[in-house]
A = this chain, B = another copy of it.
Amino acid sequence: MPYELYYWPDIQGRGEFVRLALEEAGAPYADVARKKSGMIKLERILESERVKHPPFAPPFLKAGSRIIAQTANILQFIGARHGLAPKNEEGRLWVHQLQLTIADLVAEAHDVHHPVSAGLYYKDQKREAKRAAKHFLAERIPKFLTYFEAVLMRNGRNATYLAGARLSYADLSLFQVVEGLRYAFPRAMRRTEAKLPRVVGLRNHITARPRIATYLASDRRIPFNENGIFRHYLELDRAR
Pairwise interchain contact B53-A70, C-beta atoms closer than 8 A:
no
Render A114-154 as a binary contact track against B, CB cut-off 8 A, 1 for contact: 01110110000100100110011001000010010011001
Option from B100, B101, B132 in Cβ contact (under 8 Å) with A117: B132
Interface status of A73 (Cβ within 8 A of chain B):
yes
In this complex, how many residues of chain A approach chain B with their Cβ under 8 Å: the count is 44
Residue on B with the closest CB to A66?
A: B90
Complex interface: chain B residues within 8 A of A120 (CB): 135
Pairwise interchain contact B90-A56, C-beta atoms closer than 8 A:
no
Complex interface: chain B residues within 8 A of A151 (CB): 54
For window 39-78 of chain A, which residues contact chain B by CB distance below 8 Å? 49, 51-56, 66, 68-70, 72-73, 76-77
Interface status of A111 (Cβ within 8 A of chain B):
yes
Pairwise interchain contact A147-B115, C-beta atoms closer than 8 A:
no
Interface status of A107 (Cβ within 8 A of chain B):
yes
Query: A100 with B128: in contact, given A107-B107, A154-B54 (CB under 8 Å)?
Result: no
Interface status of A29 (Cβ within 8 A of chain B):
no
Residues of A within 8 A of B (CB): 49, 51-56, 66, 68-70, 72-73, 76-77, 80, 89-90, 93-94, 96-97, 100-101, 104, 107, 111, 115-117, 119-120, 125, 128, 131-132, 135-136, 139, 144, 147, 150-151, 154
Complex interface: chain B residues within 8 A of A66 (CB): 90
Pairwise interchain contact B119-A97, C-beta atoms closer than 8 A:
no
Task: Provide the bound-state CA to CA distance between A77 and B90, in Å.
Answer: 9
